Amino acid sequence: MSNTELIRKLRAALKPENVLSVPSELVVYDCDAFTVERHIPLAVVFPRSAVQVAEVVRACSDHGCPVVARGAGTGLAGGCTPPPNGVVIVLTRMNKILDIRLRDAMALVEPGVLNLQLTNALSGTGYHFAPDPSSQGTATIGGNVATNAGGPHTLKYGVTVNHVAGLEVVLGDGSILQFGPVEDPAALDLARVVCGSEGTLAIVTKIWAKLTKNPQACRTIRATFASIDDASQAVSQIIAAGIVPAALELMDRGILDAVEAAFALGVPPEAAAVLIIELDGPEAGLDSLLEQVIALCRNWNPGEVLQAKTPAERELLWKCRKMAVGAVGRLSPGYMIQDGVVPRTRLPHIFRRILEIAAKHRVRIVNVAHAGDGNVHPILLLDERDRDLTARAKAASREVLEECITCGGSITAEHGVGIEKIELMEKLFAPADLRAMHRVRQAFDPASQLNPGKKYKTICQ
């Protein structure tokens, strides 16, 4: 079958207005937010249902053409960069909230529903959707499932997989399956393995999302420290004390400069690092827990400990944190954000190493971190026009991730492996582990048609 025939078939299945095949339109879909590698796809399709997704998968399969599912394209690791000569299945028009059942604390959504769209729809019900990546205003829930997305509140509430009760998926052979939403102990837990598989096992066409009760109360503070080392020691102590804050975020001086310029958060200029700590739960006992947290911070000589006194003050704190990466545009024409994870006790070490690696490669690195999770997000400032700087940034980036592996951590906590980190998988996992993953992938997608070349390489058996 020629490409023209495939496109004709896709148009017939989806109506012509849902299939793009003109190069000037296709170029928009040549990468996600990882812009280093790009491939112009053969076609881009906008299905409206699982049946249409299945038709596309089957047509492409007949044509020997790989497919990749894509949501909003906010992915940072190239997870939905088109495979060479592939078809992009954009799920953003499958964007309906199909059902909200508060009694079961569950919502049934299509994969193109935006993360924040669901939480907004729940406004006033006393429930919310817990995963809250910083991109939640634009990222889709389908994409959250594919990357197993986290966010500041992951510390207490867990990454996306913990908020998925069931999935409807299309497999590589075009069959449509449903896992859940009632957890069935008689079944193998296949929904779980699909979460975070970055589109390599199945294309998700419906999600039964678990809803989380809004906490009765919360307390949000920001504490400044004279060094990033002091701040990360405080994090390690809070976690070691058995306290589970709702969120425990760190920003260093570098990122604070950007945040101050953009939002005037009002952090004193002498502060080298800030922790944002949120506690939530029943009102009773929350203040004494807060005192305990502040006392642990005091062991590390905080400069200033301020509590958000109004919802507006709390919102400003979270806005500053969530928009921090965007504000980096004030520091540099370009940047690369990394996503590594280490045991919490190794946080002071990894921040020290990041400083050393930055100096060694002559790259400025500023830091945000879901510190409570041991999840660091060093942001490497660069200018893509400066090839030498870009190359040094990439080398530094890789060295940071290798250091995370050495610490007993991993190369991603929430962004995924995509194509960006695929070379590091062999450093992280033994051949037998990779073989086991590959075999499971084959069980779902025998022809390796779904998003080949991502997460793990195809391995000969």
441 counts as binding a second copy under rule CB under 8 A: yes
460 counts as binding a second copy under rule CB under 8 A: no
Tell me whether residue 141 or residue 149 sits nearer to a second copy (CB atom): 149
Tell me whether residue 288 or residue 310 sits nearer to a second copy (CB atom): 288
Residue with tokens 């080298």: 272
182 counts as binding a second copy under rule CB under 8 A: yes
Least distance between a second copy and beta carbon 411 (Å): 6
Asked if 201 and 448 touch (Cβ cutoff 8 Å), the reply is no
106 counts as binding a second copy under rule CB under 8 A: no
Among residues 155, 165, 302, the alpha carbon closest in space to that of 243 is found at 155
End-to-end CA distance of the chain: 29
Tell me whether residue 109 or residue 171 sits nearer to a second copy (CB atom): 171
Among residues 223, 248, 217, 221, the alpha carbon closest in space to that of 313 is found at 221
143 counts as binding a second copy under rule CB under 8 A: no
Among 409, 420, 450, 453, binds a second copy (CB under 8 A): 409
Among 274, 324, 437, 450, binds a second copy (CB under 8 A): 437
Residue with tokens 């896992």: 179
Residue with tokens 């009002």: 266
Residues 343-382 that bind a second copy (CB under 8 A): 343, 345
Spell 271-283 as b/e; 16+ CB within 10 A means b: bbbbbbbbbbbee
294 counts as binding a second copy under rule CB under 8 A: no
Residue with tokens 């425990």: 248
341 counts as binding a second copy under rule CB under 8 A: yes
The count of chain residues that interact with a second copy, using the rule CB under 8 A, is 58
Among 195, 251, 275, 376, binds a second copy (CB under 8 A): 195
Phi then psi for residue 197, to 5 deg, are -85, 5
From residue 358, give the alpha-carbon distance in Å to each of 149, 278, 352. Answer: 27, 30, 10
- In the DSSP assignment, the letter for residue 164 is E
Residues 38-97 that bind a second copy (CB under 8 A): none
192 counts as binding a second copy under rule CB under 8 A: yes
CA 141/CA 136 separation, integer angstroms: 9
CA angle 454, 460, 461 (to 5 degrees): 120
Binding residues (CB under 8 A) for a second copy: these are 103, 148, 159, 161, 171, 175-179, 182, 184-190, 192-193, 195-197, 201, 213, 240, 242, 282-285, 341, 343, 345, 408-414, 416-417, 421, 425, 428-429, 432-433, 436-437, 439-444, 455
